Structure 1
Amino acid sequence: MSTVQIFSRLIKLVFPLTVYMICAILMGVAGFLCAIFIPVLSSMALVSLLGYQTLLSVHIIIILLFVCALLRGILRYAEQACNHYIAFKLLARIRDQVFGALRKLCPAKLEVKDKGSLISLITSDIELLEVFYAHTISPICIAFITSLVCVSIQVQFGWIYGLYSLFAYIVVGVVLPVLISKQSRQIGVEYRKEAANLNSYVLESMRGLKESMQYMDTNRRLEGLNKQTSSLAKREKKLKYFQAKTISLTNFCVVLLSLGLCLIHLYLNSSMDSMIVSSVLQISSFGPVIALANLGSTLSQTIGAGQRVISLLDETPMVEEVNNGKETDFKMVDVSSVDFAYEEEQILKDMNLSIQENEVIGIQGKSGSGKSTLLKLLMRFWDVSKGNILVDDLNIQSLNTSNLRKNEGYVTQETILFHDTIENNIRVAKENASEEEIQSACKKANIHEYIQSLPNGYKTMVEELGSSLSGGERQRIGLARMFLHDAKLVLLDEPTSNLDSLNEGVILKSIYEERKDKTIIFVSHRESTLSHCDRIIHMESERVS
């Protein structure tokens, strides 16, 4: 994606806030003109003291100097307030769009997506766009308008001075930023990638810290961390080099171009008062275009961040949600000649399975045989590569997503808990559930007594428990969600893997008691878990036998 395409996509988001942008530009122009006229008025006072005739008296000039100084502060504050209001409003909107995109992409692509890179994108990459919205769009407009005003004033001294000023502004405000941006863009993109890689590595190292310590692998992880940090530091050093190069080159051009205007005045034998005022105007008016010149290097990271954000927003979901499809009661499920592969890795091939209403099916098989994948296909987290999954003779791809989620309950080995109360963590499964319903579900999952023993009971915050929640307790909260959801098709992926035999027995009893109006599919290696199933299916690599 080209820089122009990235900028055009980002600018489109500003349209709803056009009024604020216009206010920022107008106040920015007025503020810079006040700043420019402070030295210009001072030069006019000097010229007047030297005996030359000026349009304004010294007393009027002094009053105007105070007015310009006061307005400069007020207008600068107002301009920045408008720019940052626009920036933070748009960052909130972009975050909303990013999370909306993630919701559509989830869970198919997110299961294989680099978590650290994703965290970097939704945090630092989006924050970097603040540079674009607060310090790029309005400064460009401000520099353009302010330069035109200054050129029109220089024309009053002579058309050649106005033409030269226009040339100087184009060199500093257009030519230099474009040249620097072209040279540094690739480094900015690479820097964002390196930062994402480092985030991924740190996140992975934190999650696996216990394992690293157990197997004395910390030195290797530390070496990897140092290597990643060193690589990122090299990228940052190059970026800093370009920033220093930009500042040095810009200041050199400003001095050189200002000196050039003085030489033109001397060559054309201009009067001393005209030369002084015109030269001071030229030197003091470079502020807006210098701000643009400095953007050349800082925007390189912004371009990289914008490219990553836009790429995520443009990703096509592997599974499209259905809103105007069909509805069904989820009585029978038929898996017919199904193939499925993760990219190039074949997981299921020509798989056939018929599941009758209120049937309890157990699934066994070696790791990698596709047991969990089958459940995810039934949940339609992915679409099959070939074949069909039919629910009551309707293709699962034609069913409304809301109907699918309502009638299917899915319990995995790993239960994710949110930073909220235990009650609200369970209520995720049914938003309007009463306290009685939640407690009933927890009793079936054999977690009610444990929750009651906590100081705040169901109102206990999960983060207050910290690591004191065992894997079994987390899994029982996940099972409580399943009982509360009360779906007709229940998919259980190793639901008792973290439980002892006593808890397993209580929970299995609760599950089997509800079999009269549910269809249940167990994936488990435990014979005790599958002992009451109507039939057990053994999955080998790539097929059902």
Structure 2
Amino acid sequence: MKRNNLQILSRLIVFVKPMIGIMIVAVLMGVAGFMAAILIPVLGAYGIYNVRTGQPLTTIVAAMILCAILRGVLRYAEQACNHYIAFKLLAHIRDIIFGKLRELSFAKLEVKDKGNLISLITSDVELLEVFYAHTISPVCIALIVSLICIVWQWSMDWKLGVCALAAYMSVGMGIPYVLSKRSSASGRELRKESGEQMAFVLESVRGLKELMWFHGVQKREEEILKKTKELAQKEKRVKEVMAQGMSLTNAAVIVFTVIIFVLAIHTSDRQCAVLISPILMISSFGPVIALSNLGTGLAQTLGAGNRLLDLLEEKVTVEEVTNGKNTGFDDLQAEGIDFAYDQEQVLKDFSLQIPQNRILGIQGKSGCGKSTLLKLLMRMWDVDAGKITIDGENIKNINTHCIRSHESLVSQETMLFHDSIAANLRIAKADAADEELVEACKKANIHDFIMTLPQGYDTRVAELGSSVSGGEKQRIGLARAFLHDGNVLLLDEPTSNLDSLNEGAILKAVDDHKKGKTIILISHRASSLQFADQIVKMTKYEKK
């Protein structure tokens, strides 16, 4: 979705609301710190003027030393407040992002580019630190310090005040506005391409084995290099605008300082104004120069913010139910359901009565909707027409927690986190005792393998590297499902990575596990379906 810069900034500022008290402290510290810095050269100018009039310098020197000390202390306090706000908010925003991803559920996550999501959660969120730590309070500080300096210049002569106003508006608003117009589109494009680049590299790493096997490494390297060069060119354009901004800002500072010096000579009737006014002017540009640099520096931040807002505003496909009904999962059936991925129809007027406490085997060619059916039964997606009922109640009216507590899924690919084997198993049941882990793993025929590991169940997956085979991962996934001990066990090709010996052991464990359980088993292998009490054959939907 396209948004202008003001819309993006206004939406990002909303996140600051819980930290408004600390933000006010940061602004006050910043104003005091900049005024202390400005006073050092200005007091020096007053000292030079006092020498000419024969007045002592003791008080002025003491004041300059005090201002120098205060400048360091106040600057530290301001930066500490700003970065405290920034990192607290970044943690809060990441929490919001993960919450949103959870809301979007499996349906959206399946079709999203994982590389882009990683880029959003990591580098895009980090770029927001520029906004929260170096934008909001600096804008307020620049406004207040500039007003103080304008009044000060005005007190010496109104023409000096008007010149100061024009200078601060040009450097703090005019130049940043022009540069932001030039760089905002480039910044958004850079963030988009950066996410795509990360996705491409991630895909290349995951598929490295296939690339090496089929001699595709060199071509892939060339594509990565090409994309990197294109990305570097876009970043170069953004940097060029930043360099132009710095040049314009420095030129404007010099020009306005000269103008105010000339005005002080010709218009002010106070002798000290000729010395004080230009020194005050050139030493007070610090806050507005920071704003000028933001005009281009914020380009990528605004792009990152826009991507973040796109995610947060994305509509939820399957909403979680928290105030619905709970059921016992005794009767499960699909009644005339239709389902399509975008325009690709997968299921049409499909009905199925799932026998209770039995093993139902499902056969069918790839693309006929077998795995899709399991996802619909788990309500990862909602059907387009018809309904899925549990104990006679539409699945859409049943609490999401109830569905997940009663159903377990073992898919073709098992995800193991970089934690201990025991911790990976306890994902299914956080308070499981060690004895329960052992029992579940024995059922899944993986206990003996785990006991050969250096620390047994406490062995960390990261330490095993590639020594864990796909079959062993799958058996750990099956052990998780046994540990979860739900009423309904959904098995999507659970033996696809196993040899015939382990397949037999696993299926025997599944058969032994079926007491009081409803099991749906999807498999291409006829041998895997020998334990099924009933077999259903699915055919691919063909549009007439």
TM-score band, normalised by shorter chain: over 0.9
Code of the aligned partner of 2:32: A
1:48, CA displacement in angstroms?
A: 2.4
Q: Which residue of 1 aligns with 2:106?
A: 107
Residues in 2 aligned to 1:204 and 1:147: alpha-carbon distance in whole angstroms: 51
1:272, CA displacement in angstroms?
A: 4.4
Q: List per-residue Cα deviations over 1:184-209 (Å, max 9, x = no partner).
A: 11111000001001100100000001
Q: Which residue of 1 aligns with 2:152?
A: 153
Preserved CA contact (<8 Å) 2:326 2:398: yes
1:269, CA displacement in angstroms?
A: 6.0
Q: List per-residue Cα deviations over 1:221-276 (Å, max 9, x = no partner).
A: 01110111011111100110110011000111111111111122233264543111
Q: Which residue of 2 aligns with 1:18?
A: 20
Residues in 2 aligned to 1:269 and 1:494: alpha-carbon distance in whole angstroms: 89
Preserved CA contact (<8 Å) 2:368 2:540: yes
Code of the aligned partner of 1:235: K
Secondary structure at the aligned position of 2:173 is classed as: helix
Q: Which residue of 2 aligns with 1:326?
A: 325
Q: Which residue of 1 aligns with 2:93?
A: 94
CA RMSD of aligned residues (A): 1.4
Identity %: 54
Code of the aligned partner of 1:415: T
Secondary structure at the aligned position of 1:109 is classed as: helix
Aligned residue runs from structure 1 range 259-408, under 5 A: 259-268=258-267, 270-408=269-407
Residues in 2 aligned to 1:283 and 1:515: alpha-carbon distance in whole angstroms: 82
Q: List per-residue Cα deviations over 1:317-368 (Å, max 9, x = no partner).
A: 1100000101111112221111111112221112111112112111111111
Q: Which residue of 2 aligns with 1:496?
A: 495
Residues in 2 aligned to 1:335 and 1:444: alpha-carbon distance in whole angstroms: 30
Code of the aligned partner of 1:122: I
Residues in 2 aligned to 1:91 and 1:255: alpha-carbon distance in whole angstroms: 38
Code of the aligned partner of 1:461: R
Instruction: Output the TM-score relative to the length of structure 2.
Output: 0.97
1:471 aligned to 2:470? yes
Secondary structure at the aligned position of 1:108 is classed as: helix
Q: Which residue of 2 aligns with 1:510?
A: 509
Preserved CA contact (<8 Å) 2:157 2:267: no
- Choose which of 28, 31, 41 in structure 1 pairs with 2:30: 28
Residues in 1 aligned to 2:171 and 2:437: alpha-carbon distance in whole angstroms: 67
Residues in 2 aligned to 1:52 and 1:216: alpha-carbon distance in whole angstroms: 86
Residues in 2 aligned to 1:183 and 1:177: alpha-carbon distance in whole angstroms: 10
Q: Which residue of 1 aligns with 2:163?
A: 164
Residues in 2 aligned to 1:193 and 1:227: alpha-carbon distance in whole angstroms: 16
Preserved CA contact (<8 Å) 1:428 1:481: yes
Secondary structure at the aligned position of 1:219 is classed as: helix
Preserved CA contact (<8 Å) 2:318 2:380: yes
Secondary structure at the aligned position of 2:76 is classed as: helix
- Choose which of 5, 8, 18 in structure 2 pairs with 1:6: 8
Residues in 1 aligned to 2:358 and 2:455: alpha-carbon distance in whole angstroms: 40
Q: Which residue of 2 aligns with 1:46?
A: 48
1:501, CA displacement in angstroms?
A: 1.3
Preserved CA contact (<8 Å) 2:411 2:494: yes
1:151, CA displacement in angstroms?
A: 1.1
Q: Which residue of 1 aligns with 2:74?
A: 75
Residues in 2 aligned to 1:130 and 1:464: alpha-carbon distance in whole angstroms: 34
Report the number of matched residues: 541
Residues in 2 aligned to 1:45 and 1:285: alpha-carbon distance in whole angstroms: 19
Preserved CA contact (<8 Å) 2:157 2:268: no
Secondary structure at the aligned position of 1:14 is classed as: helix
Code of the aligned partner of 1:22: I
Residues in 1 aligned to 2:509 and 2:60: alpha-carbon distance in whole angstroms: 89
Greater alpha carbon shift after TM alignment, 198-207 vs 354-363:
354-363
Residues in 1 aligned to 2:355 and 2:498: alpha-carbon distance in whole angstroms: 29
Residues in 2 aligned to 1:439 and 1:387: alpha-carbon distance in whole angstroms: 42
Code of the aligned partner of 1:67: L
1:514, CA displacement in angstroms?
A: 2.2
Preserved CA contact (<8 Å) 1:150 1:285: yes
1:138, CA displacement in angstroms?
A: 0.4
**Runs of 4 or more off by more than 3 Å in structure 1?**
269-272
Preserved CA contact (<8 Å) 2:363 2:536: yes
Greater alpha carbon shift after TM alignment, 68-77 vs 115-124:
68-77
Secondary structure at the aligned position of 2:50 is classed as: helix
Secondary structure at the aligned position of 2:519 is classed as: strand
Preserved CA contact (<8 Å) 1:331 1:356: no
Greater alpha carbon shift after TM alignment, 255-264 vs 278-287:
255-264
Code of the aligned partner of 1:79: E
Code of the aligned partner of 1:75: L
Q: Which residue of 1 aligns with 2:252?
A: 253
1:52, CA displacement in angstroms?
A: 4.1
Preserved CA contact (<8 Å) 2:156 2:268: no
Preserved CA contact (<8 Å) 1:52 1:273: no
Code of the aligned partner of 1:135: H
Secondary structure at the aligned position of 1:327 is classed as: coil
Secondary structure at the aligned position of 1:88 is classed as: helix
Residues in 1 aligned to 2:418 and 2:268: alpha-carbon distance in whole angstroms: 76
Residues in 1 aligned to 2:198 and 2:56: alpha-carbon distance in whole angstroms: 63
Residues in 2 aligned to 1:260 and 1:344: alpha-carbon distance in whole angstroms: 67
Q: Which residue of 2 aligns with 1:537?
A: 536
Secondary structure at the aligned position of 1:525 is classed as: coil
Greater alpha carbon shift after TM alignment, 283-292 vs 453-462:
453-462
1:385, CA displacement in angstroms?
A: 1.2
Code of the aligned partner of 2:248: L
Q: Which residue of 2 aligns with 1:430?
A: 429
Query: Residues 269, 6 of structure 1: CA spacing in aligned structure 2 closer, same or farther, 3 A cutoff?
Result: closer
Residues in 2 aligned to 1:357 and 1:271: alpha-carbon distance in whole angstroms: 98
Q: List per-residue Cα deviations over 1:53-111 (Å, max 9, x = no partner).
A: 7xx74221111111111111111111100000000000010011011111111211111
Residues in 1 aligned to 2:467 and 2:259: alpha-carbon distance in whole angstroms: 74
Secondary structure at the aligned position of 2:537 is classed as: strand
Secondary structure at the aligned position of 2:334 is classed as: strand
Code of the aligned partner of 1:248: S
Instruction: Output the TM-score relative to the length of structure 1.
Output: 0.97
Query: Residues 354, 154 of structure 1: CA spacing in aligned structure 2 closer, same or farther, 3 A cutoff?
Result: same
Code of the aligned partner of 2:57: V
1:510, CA displacement in angstroms?
A: 1.3
Aligned residue runs from structure 1 range 125-274, under 5 A: 125-268=124-267, 270-274=269-273
Secondary structure at the aligned position of 2:61 is classed as: helix
Q: Which residue of 1 aligns with 2:443?
A: 444
Residues in 1 aligned to 2:22 and 2:49: alpha-carbon distance in whole angstroms: 40
1:429, CA displacement in angstroms?
A: 0.6
Code of the aligned partner of 2:39: F
Secondary structure at the aligned position of 1:341 is classed as: strand
Residues in 1 aligned to 2:108 and 2:458: alpha-carbon distance in whole angstroms: 35
1:178, CA displacement in angstroms?
A: 1.4
